[in-house]
Structure 1
């Protein structure tokens, strides 16, 4: 077999291959003989038809099998011979397909385009200079966290001596009739909690329910905005009959030692709570500072190594980023079909992000090879156990899922890259400086902002689905 390698680009190669006529003839004879043995040919006993007759009767099938057998193997042999790091499937073209009528009498010529990982000439990756800034934990920060803890531990107490006020939670049974369109089914839902003046609650609901008491009945109309988050309600008008069943006020726990002790057995007093919060927040601040150092090291590495990345990988990674973006938008109540969305600009930005992600991954892999960074079976097992604990699944369940998806290789790659970045960070020249508020978020912080669980955004009652959660959202706006 003869091969020739043509450099189309750093990530795309052309393999020109010529399979020897003798090899083609041998495979042609082998396939022909198998057909002669197994095929039924009219006029001949099974297995006794002449090879020439069999070849004529089954010429397309025989040629197809010969090509399918020889071509993939030839390409694989050529890839090994040329030591190519191929990704994806080759794009194959037969150069002398018209000569298949003379199969076995001449060489079989073809060419294949393949994508490859680029060769990377590593520059400096040790001793990189980077600044570390740790966010200070102030008394105000501690008190903000305590205030959040009190909010999360607040209780709702019945209000009996006054009407509902802004901030109260009013429980309402709703009966709604569409004014427009009139033919829509009625809305009938019970026990909907509306926080007066709450985030996302339409001002009209707050206005109508302020001052109400249990057993009050009010009838009012709501005209939903054209840009309302629920497309089924946008621009619609509904007349609601609202029966108030309860009014409750938020009551925060007392800020004292007893409340502090209720938060955990290890907490002894309010001062002890403040001390533990400071310790935890300072540890997190140091961790985030270290993450920013790692992020900055990766940015510096990528900026210093501008090589071409395979287009197919960029396309796949950009698609994954886009899918993640759409999921996050939907989780935050944003309709990705909104005509105001600049998808063209977003796709361009995601392509740039995908290219940098892949460039960083390729760099870490090349550095890992240069530094002989390896991952042991024990380390992979520990990572699987960590994943299982986080997912609240058994190790066996996680391992089975990973095996099915080829995920253990992915874990090994991730661990190797993590250890490689550890090596780069350990050798870096890190200078500690004072915190600046304009510090960029770490990758983990950005993930928290986009992926963190948020309160469910439910839609308002519609003719199709009138549930309690939907009625809750009928009082909410974008």
Structure 2
């Protein structure tokens, strides 16, 4: 077999592989025998008729087409090996030329893209301050007060941000009421963002028993196609207006929270400070890592094939659906509640998918550039760590996760750690 490889744009290329000689002749003979078994001739059992007689009933074209199946896979593998290609998608096959002497396959192949690394060492990135202030702690106390606040009817005044307005509403498009746009005595928390943009804001300043029309526009990606992007009018009547009445911040309030070993206001302050410190350190570390990944990907050049982004988007949508299911929701229910469509969800996740693919490719390139290797001992130690983390037997972990996958993950993590350790140096 012989082959040629031509890389074109967006990591796609044309791999031509020619099969001839004994390999092609054997493939045709095998194809003929397979087809011969399907030929029924009077006086002969299937597959027992003389070869010369059977040949009259099988066209050479059929034999050639059947022979393609015998060697196409082998031809592709040979071409991939010869040119050291790393495929990222299933190739498409075309026949460039074919006769009884030889066949030339033309595979349209998408390969792993080349990454041109920019600066990835000595980046000037600073971690965020993780100091917890008294204001931070006081904000936690306020949140605790709001958690146990009472809703008190406002005898006077107007709707303000944070109030709960009990309303009747009905929506109209082009003067006609639309389905699902009506409710009575609905308790709406102003500022919650639970209604479409512009709705809640226009209730601010209304008085009890006041009625007015408000104009809003549904989002372009709203699930109901007849309402997506449409301007509508809602007729609103405000009935009760309720405001939060915060309880006093004291030991009794803290006891209501039923936090283990925390029964006084001072203890709650210390508890909150420790939690905030832990959260701030984690947030700082996450942002530090995110800033690093942003920097190294922006500094690198790579043309990512669309198929890699689509595949990653599929993974993200599937993972998202599984997370929803674990919470007792389906993806269809999520779309109904949020007004999003399959297309809008994929579009939103596609941006994240592109970034994830680029990060992965850049870290792979750094690992290759730095000649990072993972030993068998490294893999075994990681499998043992996973087993201990989840309380599983190591052999069970090995049956669930391949050593290659563990090795790959460790290599990527080591590449990232190398970049982190070089920051500011």
TM-score by length of 1: 0.62
Distance 1:20 1:52, change over 3 A: same
Alpha-carbon distance between aligned partners in 2 of 1:293 and 1:198, rounded to the nearest angstrom: 30
Alpha-carbon distance between aligned partners in 1 of 2:294 and 2:191, rounded to the nearest angstrom: 44
Deviations 1:4-42 (A, max 9, x none): 333446934432322123212212112222333453234
Alpha-carbon distance between aligned partners in 2 of 1:372 and 1:277, rounded to the nearest angstrom: 43
State the shift of 1:282 in Å. 2.7
Does 2:139 align with 1:144? Answer: yes
Equivalence for 1:154: 149
Alignment of 1:43-122 (within 5 A): 44-59=44-59, 61-97=62-98, 99=99, 103=100, 106-120=101-115
Deviations 1:104-153 (A, max 9, x none): xx122223232222455767755555333325432222222322232123
Deviations 1:178-219 (A, max 9, x none): 898578899986653245798743756973635xxxxxxxxx
Distance 1:208 1:42, change over 3 A: farther
Deviations 1:292-337 (A, max 9, x none): 332333334334432443353246557888999xx9x979968789
Alpha-carbon distance between aligned partners in 1 of 2:388 and 2:30, rounded to the nearest angstrom: 52
SS of the residue corresponding to residue 418 of structure 1 reads: helix
Equivalence for 1:434: none
Alpha-carbon distance between aligned partners in 2 of 1:187 and 1:124, rounded to the nearest angstrom: 54
SS of the residue corresponding to residue 48 of structure 2 reads: coil
Alignment of 1:175-214 (within 5 A): 192-195=186-189, 200-201=199-200, 203=202, 207=206, 209=208
Deviations 1:159-194 (A, max 9, x none): 5x946864664657x597989857889998665324
Distance 1:84 1:275, change over 3 A: same
Distance 1:203 1:294, change over 3 A: closer
Q: Which runs of 5+ in 1 are unaligned?
A: 211-219, 432-478
Distance 1:366 1:181, change over 3 A: closer
Distance 1:166 1:297, change over 3 A: closer
Alpha-carbon distance between aligned partners in 1 of 2:286 and 2:7, rounded to the nearest angstrom: 39
Corresponding pairs, count: 387
Does 2:288 align with 1:279? Answer: no
Equivalence for 1:472: none
SS of the residue corresponding to residue 209 of structure 1 reads: coil
Deviations 1:392-426 (A, max 9, x none): xx99xxx9xx97xx99987875565334312332x
Equivalence for 1:420: 415
State the shift of 1:377 in Å. 6.4
Equivalence for 1:216: none
Distance 1:191 1:378, change over 3 A: farther
Does 2:232 align with 1:235? Answer: yes
State the shift of 1:225 in Å. 1.6
Equivalence for 2:379: 376
Equivalence for 1:445: none
Distance 1:206 1:111, change over 3 A: same
Alpha-carbon distance between aligned partners in 2 of 1:66 and 1:252, rounded to the nearest angstrom: 81
SS of the residue corresponding to residue 200 of structure 2 reads: coil
Distance 1:40 1:248, change over 3 A: same
Does 2:141 align with 1:134? Answer: no
Alignment of 1:265-344 (within 5 A): 265-314=260-309, 316=311
Contact conserved, 1:180 with 1:237, CA < 8 A, in 2?
A: no
State the shift of 1:83 in Å. 2.1
SS of the residue corresponding to residue 260 of structure 1 reads: helix
SS of the residue corresponding to residue 4 of structure 1 reads: strand
Distance 1:422 1:30, change over 3 A: same
Equivalence for 2:215: 225
Alignment of 1:458-473 (within 5 A): none
State the shift of 1:361 in Å. 0.9
Distance 1:126 1:223, change over 3 A: closer
Alpha-carbon distance between aligned partners in 1 of 2:361 and 2:190, rounded to the nearest angstrom: 53
Equivalence for 1:360: 359
Alignment of 1:1-12 (within 5 A): 1-8=1-8, 11-12=11-12
Equivalence for 2:19: 19
Equivalence for 2:31: 31
The alignment yields a C-alpha RMSD, in angstroms, of 5.1
Alpha-carbon distance between aligned partners in 2 of 1:17 and 1:297, rounded to the nearest angstrom: 43
Alpha-carbon distance between aligned partners in 1 of 2:180 and 2:309, rounded to the nearest angstrom: 50
Q: Which runs of 5+ in 2 are unaligned?
A: 194-198, 321-331
Alpha-carbon distance between aligned partners in 1 of 2:108 and 2:140, rounded to the nearest angstrom: 58
State the shift of 1:88 in Å. 0.8
Alpha-carbon distance between aligned partners in 2 of 1:6 and 1:197, rounded to the nearest angstrom: 58
Alpha-carbon distance between aligned partners in 1 of 2:145 and 2:17, rounded to the nearest angstrom: 73
Contact conserved, 1:223 with 1:235, CA < 8 A, in 2?
A: no
